[in-house]
A and B are shown apart, each in its own frame.
Chain A
Amino acid sequence: MAPPAQSQRSPSPSQPSGKSEVSDLKLQLRQLAGSRAPGVDDSKRELFKKVISYMTIGIDVSSLFGEMVMCSATSDIVLKKMCYLYVGNYAKVNPDLALLTINFLQRDCRDEDPMIRGLALRSLCSLRVANLVEYLVGPLGSGLKDSNSYVRMVAVMGVLKLYHISASTCIDADFPSILKHLMLHDSDTQVVANCLSALQEIWSAEASTSEEASREREALISKPFIYYLLNRIKEFCEWAQCLVLELVTKYVPSDSSEIFDIMNLLEDRLQHANGAVVLATIRVFLQLTLSMTDVHQQVYERIKAPLLTLVSSGSPEQSYAVLSHLHLLVMRAPYVFSSDYKHFYCQYNEPSYVKRLKLEMLTAVANESNTYEIVTELCEYAANVDIPIARESIRAVGKIALQQYDVNAIVDRLLQFLEMEKDYVTAEALVLVKDLLRKYPQWSHDCIAVVGNISSKNVQEPKAKAALIWMLGEYSQDMQDAPYVLESLVENWDEEHSAEVRLHLLTAMMKCFFKRPPETQSALGAALAAGIADFHQDVHDRALFYYRILRYNVSVAERVVNPPKQAVSVFADTQSSEIKDRIFDEFNSLSVLYQKPSYMFTDKEHRGPLEFADELGNLSIGEAANNVVPTQMVEENDKDLLLTTSEKEETKGSRNNGSAYSVPYDGSSTSVFASQTQIESAVSNPTLAGHSPQASFAIDDLLGLGIPAAPAVLSPPQLKLNTKAALDPSTFQQKWRQLPVALSQEISVSPQGVAALTAPQALLRHMQSHSIHCIASGGQSPNFKFFFFAQKFEESSNYLVECVINTSSAKAQVKIKADDQNTSQDFSTLFESALSKFGTS
């Protein structure tokens, strides 16, 4: 508020413009200042109120500072409060004048009324003027010893405020140790809670410089202290309970009986009226049982009811926050909630962000027993007034269909959607039918019959149009008029604005041509001509590619464009399990609401380097690049590396460059091919099966015509690492800070590897034999952390790796940074293969 934002707001006519009123007030305050007449307090109160209201609406009344202070000599507590408020607001910009107030605040700190003592102390600490801190120490010291708990409570917070103004003053006065004493011995729980929150903040800030502080911070999560708090938890006010529970989540119990003790003690917190307490308790339960799978499941069962009640009882805002957490849990363990699916039914009045969450949950909990009801319900929403929600619900039906084995009923519903004659419903349904056919080709007969009736003129959305065209091409042998529909689309080539649709049209024409050549030939010619003349680079390239491949050899063209396809078994999820786990670790925080782990939305620039320095400091610097690695092993490694990478590359190439290749679908917006991609099946056709490297050569030849289609596929990576790479730790640290993360992935570690990883050194030696050197390592079972580096052979291009291995889950989190970003994928594969051999060689 200060400096008041008068300039930003144009004062409305009804608002006082300021100047004259303020000088008026000044005069009146002056007259009252010395007066001791009866009733003077009332007139003062009116004036003060006016001043505060000016301040609130943003008029600068700081010029009254002196007069306000003069009038502050009063016994009236409301006057005092208003005066404190005023002073608190303007002290920071008027540090000189603030000095004037110290006197009367200090006097009030010694008042006989504890309320006034407390208020004065709070105001004194809220002045936040650096050069006045010396006046704070005395009153704070006596405040902490006050007989009244209200004053002590205020004083404790005052210490924290003092710390933020001047940390050294606070430490020199030895306040932290006084707070510690209070925290352990005070009878009032609010004082204890305030001490806890103040000390947590102070010690966390001090921990980086003072060893004592970090020891004290550790002591907060020691067994005796945690038990001391837990045993008194019911006496704390609800907000303080949240604070205590948050601390408990950091505590690591020594054995399972302790875990059960804590859970028994806290169980009734799940029934608390305050949602924040309930969620904090749930977090404790989930964290404690993370390593005990069966108990963890029981916890889910136990917390289900409280969560569902919280959702239905609170205001919409509360519901939303709880629902986001519920969403996270449902996504983690859908089967636990599958019988409660009715709770996720949408209400008409709910805002759409709530409905969206509910739709996702309905999709997740669908199983054999409830699919029918859920799909019926979702179909209701398709007629919803809210069009985005109607779309989402159709998509949800499709997702359920893709995750079920028995899709009989669902297909009927989807086909009904196609007959609803609403363009957006038709559009969504078309996309779904397409996905469905990719997974269950056996349904093609029923679907094609319905799809055939849809006039392509009624479909406008690019995604839907593309889906329709794909089906026309794919099933042209079953659809009577497919060539003619396609032909009419080709005729309107110029009116088609979406490149995606034009690309699909080209491919569909090709497919159609292979199945019904006489009817398609002329149209194909027109399509290729139009495509080659197209201004869009991808369309142009693809048309040219088709044209040349056809001229080269028609049967090769058919093998490439229209190979026998395998049904897609799994559609990959958009959100990786790693991210979900990360969010889960941050349960009861904003991360859950944003559905992103905190590192993805908090400011990296402020935290990144600091954190890194911290981490590296805790690790031991390993002796890097000392051992000579047998060359033979490297070569051996390189051979199978070649194989694995080229496979990998193909998958990746077709995933990313699908649209520039013969793959019509790289999935809808929500799903991408997981493993089996069409290009792969195109390549591994019967004659060439099992010879992937050769197959990619065949393509290489084809593309040798000079069409820059998919360069990624062409270069089988020949990444060789320098066996004697050297990098000193400071360069590493510097590079790590500068480079962006090129790749971040999760790798499974073989059971043998887990068994061999008793100490970090074992892995170091192993990785060194693969020319990957360790610069720092640390940790103990089950968590190990390593920093590796490697150098390209005969080049000074470096790869940096952070690798965190959890032996209990047999997973490794790997972050790779590289000087040369283009080869980071190759390196990743190399790294992965090296890691996978750990323990076996």
Chain B
Amino acid sequence: MLQCIFLLSDSGEVMLEKQLTGHRVDRSICDWFWDHVISQGDSFKSQPVIASPTHYLFQVVREGITFLACTQVEMPPLMGIEFLCRVSDVLSDYLGGLNEDVIKDNFVIVYELLDEMIDNGFPLTTEANILREMIAPPNIVSKVLSVVTGNSSNVSDTLPGATGSCIPWRAAEPKYANNEVYVDLVEEMDAVINRDGALVKCEVYGEVRVNSHLSGLPDLTLSFANPSILDDVRFHPCVRFRPWESHQVLSFVPPDGEFKLMSYRIKKLKSTPLYVKPQLTSDAGKCRVNVLVGIRNDPGKTIDSITLEFQLPPCILSADLNSNHGTVNILGNKICSWTIGRIPKDKTPSLSGTLLLETELERLHVFPTFRVGFRIMGVALSGLQIDKLDLKTAPSRLYKGFRALTRAGEFEVRS
């Protein structure tokens, strides 16, 4: 099991250390780790599980903060990695984001949280909902409250009721004047388009996010109009499996607040909302670039925040690129980024210009991959539709809301 957890800043400084078992892990392991990271060049490229001379290290990097866990025994690797991911999720949820300062300012809270999340190297509660009942988040409300009431403790007096109940994700019977439940479909489209414009691969990874503020012990049923298009699904522990097996209906008692009810994957989609047509022709030490972007399949809503990014090949000396719409920037690390925004009605956005190759090079042999970003509000591109959401014993006033959003995930166009 895990023996120790370190939080490192982006300069390799140990911000926090939590020993979990009797086998103390010396801090010098962090120095070893940091040397290793530096020798790898880019922390992004170093592997999540590393064997140091003395320990096996799990690392997860979030917002410049490295979560490092050490162990000396064989264990399921995902357990270590998942746990660190949860720690980072919970911390960023508690502290409203992650960065060096916020962790240093709130290290007491971080210690408290880790104390409840893991004991003797074995993970316990990692549900933010439950933790919030044991340790109040350091938000403004609680600060104000403590000033007003004079009670300066940021710990609630009661233990979470759920620890004893059979629904471990839900606190005992909250009360709300307004009963609300919101369901969001958030989809990410991953696509690869070849240089000849053929769609090599296109699939959607989606999540159903629910934000529920319901009194008592609400029993919800959510159904889709077309569940058959789902290729694979994963559920929050609250979802009952049998109704899904038999009727593809989600039946569940939700945790209080925001959570991810379900994630799904839909593969083999046939088209993308946008087309991107890059053209690169090179001769005599120059390369002409021309990229066109337009709407291929109108999703019915506005396509927003369209961006296009590509890495200039290392053999390029200089680039002169312009567009007829939006702005083009060439960033320090030779990444060219073109911000388009929305597609105008009257013209097709295009990026054109020339790249100057290194001397001695006649033609370009390395072709960049264009990464496309976009966002469409109000549509789930996979076509998944929510049919209805029912509450078994509906309270008198109940607000239900549905939203959908699609954005580009790994959307790549090769040239």
Q: Which residues of A contact B (CB under 8 A)?
A: 1-2, 5, 8, 41-42, 45, 49, 52-53, 56-58, 76-78, 81-82, 85, 89, 92, 113-115, 119, 122, 128, 148-150, 153-154, 157, 160-161, 164-165, 187-190, 194, 197, 234-235, 237-239, 242-243, 246, 267-268, 271-276, 278-280, 305-306, 308-310, 312-318, 320-322, 324, 342, 345, 347-349, 351-353, 377, 380, 383-385, 420-422, 586, 588-594, 598, 601-602
Contacts and interface: CB of A to CB of B under 8 A. Distances in A.
Interface string B278-298: 000000000000000000000
B235 A272 contact: yes
A598 B308 CA distance: 45
A786 B56 CA distance: 35
B82 A318 contact: yes
Nearest to A55: B17
Q: Which of B163, B194, B311, B368 has the most CB of A within 10 A?
A: B163
Interface stretch (B118-126, B319-327, B381-389): B118-126
Given A1-B19, A56-B15, A588-B76, A237 B168 contact: yes
Nearest to B235: A271
Contacts of B76: 242, 246, 276, 279-280, 588-589
B48 A421 contact: no
A314 B412 CA distance: 19
A242 B157 CA distance: 31
A653 to B, nearest CB: 36
Contact of A590 (B75, B120, B200): B75
Contacts of A316: 48
Nearest to A42: B152
Given A276-B76, A342-B201, A602-B74, A78 B47 contact: no
A379 to B, nearest CB: 11
A143 to B, nearest CB: 13
Nearest to A151: B159
A150 B122 contact: no
Interface stretch (B106-114, B175-183, B299-307, B395-403): B106-114
B36 interface: no
A518 B202 CA distance: 62
B14 interface: yes
A590 B234 contact: no
Contact of B263 (A82, A309, A315, A384): A309
Given A81-B115, A309-B232, A318 B81 contact: yes
A92 B17 CA distance: 16
A318 B85 contact: yes
A463 B76 CA distance: 40
Interface residues of B, number: 89
B267 to A, nearest CB: 8
23 contacts: A8-B31, A52-B108, A82-B111, A115-B155, A115-B159, A119-B115, A122-B115, A149-B164, A150-B159, A238-B126, A271-B233, A272-B235, A273-B237, A275-B78, A306-B234, A309-B232, A312-B205, A317-B84, A317-B85, A318-B78, A347-B412, A351-B47, A421-B365
A115 B163 CA distance: 12
Given A8-B27, A53-B104, A114-B159, 6 more contacts: A77-B153, A239-B122, A239-B123, A317-B48, A318-B85, A322-B78
B78 A58 contact: no
Contacts of A594: 51
B372 to A, nearest CB: 11
Contacts of A352: 45
A267 B85 CA distance: 25
B79 A242 contact: yes
A749 B201 CA distance: 47
Nearest to B130: A237
Contacts of B200: 342, 345, 377
Contacts of B233: 271, 309
B314 interface: yes
B367 interface: yes
Contact of B365 (A76, A89, A347, A420): A420
B265 A76 contact: no
B28 A276 contact: no
A649 to B, nearest CB: 38
Q: Which of A190, A271, A421, A598 has the most CB of B within 10 A?
A: A271
Interface of B: 14-17, 19, 21-22, 24, 26-28, 31, 44-45, 47-49, 51, 56, 59-60, 74-79, 81-85, 104, 107-108, 111-112, 115, 119-120, 122-126, 134, 152-155, 157, 159, 163-164, 166, 168, 190, 192, 194, 200-201, 203, 205, 231-237, 241, 245, 260, 263-265, 267, 311, 313-314, 365-369, 371, 410, 412, 414
B74 A590 contact: yes
A239 B205 contact: no
A602 B44 CA distance: 27
Nearest to B207: A313
A276 B78 contact: yes
Contacts of B368: 385
A2 to B, nearest CB: 8
Contact of B241 (A237, A271, A348, A586): A271
Given A52-B108, A377-B200, A272 B56 contact: no
A150 B265 contact: no
A197 B369 contact: no
Contacts of A114: 159
A239 B126 contact: yes
B28 A279 contact: no
B252 to A, nearest CB: 12
B163 A305 contact: no
A348 B412 contact: yes
Contacts of B48: 316-317, 320-321
A274 B76 CA distance: 13
Nearest to B44: A351
Contacts of A5: 26-28
Contacts of A321: 48-49, 77-78, 81
Contacts of B49: 320-321, 590, 593
Contact of A385 (B27, B81, B313): B313
Given A5-B28, A589-B75, A275 B263 contact: no
A385 B119 contact: no
A237 B166 CA distance: 11
Q: Which of B82, B203, B368 has the most CB of A within 10 A?
A: B82
B153 A78 contact: yes
A380 B366 CA distance: 10
A308 B120 CA distance: 33
A49 B236 contact: no
Contacts of B260: 273
Nearest to B7: A56
Q: Nearest 5 pairs between A and B by C-beta?
A: A268-B241, A317-B48, A305-B232, A239-B123, A276-B78
Contacts of B108: 49, 52, 78, 81-82
B234 A309 contact: yes
Q: Which of B15, B237, B367 has the most CB of A within 10 A?
A: B237
A115 B134 contact: yes
Contacts of A320: 47-49
A323 to B, nearest CB: 11
A588 B28 contact: no
Contact of A313 (B107, B126, B205): B205
Given A306-B234, A383-B367, A122 B119 contact: yes
Given A312-B265, A347-B412, A81 B168 contact: no
Nearest to B311: A385
Contacts of B264: 309
Given A160-B120, A309-B234, A349-B410, A58 B74 contact: no
Contact of A165 (B22, B75, B153): B22
A81 B232 contact: no
Nearest to B47: A353
A312 B154 contact: no
Contact of B27 (A1, A41, A45, A113): A1
Contacts of B44: 351
Nearest to A283: B76
A593 B134 CA distance: 36
